[in-house]
Amino acid sequence: MKAKANFKVFIQEDDKAMQKKIAEELKEYNYVINFFSKSDSAFELLNFNPDILIQDYKTKKVVKCYEWSEPYNHWHM
pLDDT digits (tens, 9 = 90+) for 3-26: 565 899 999 999 999 999 999 999
Is the predicted pLDDT of residue 57 greater than 60, yes or no?
yes
Neighbouring CB atoms inside 10 A of 5's CB total: 9
* Residue, of 35 and 2, whose pLDDT is higher: 35
Closest CA to 52 of 29, 33, 70: 33
| Residue 25 exposure: Cα atoms within 13 Å on the Cβ side | 9
Residue 18: phi and psi, rounded to 5, are -70, -35
User: Quick one: average pLDDT of 65-71?
Assistant: 52
Element (H, E) at 70: none
Please give the mean pLDDT across all residues of the chain.
79
Cβ neighbours of 58 (radius 10 Å): 9
pTM higher than 0.75, yes or no? no
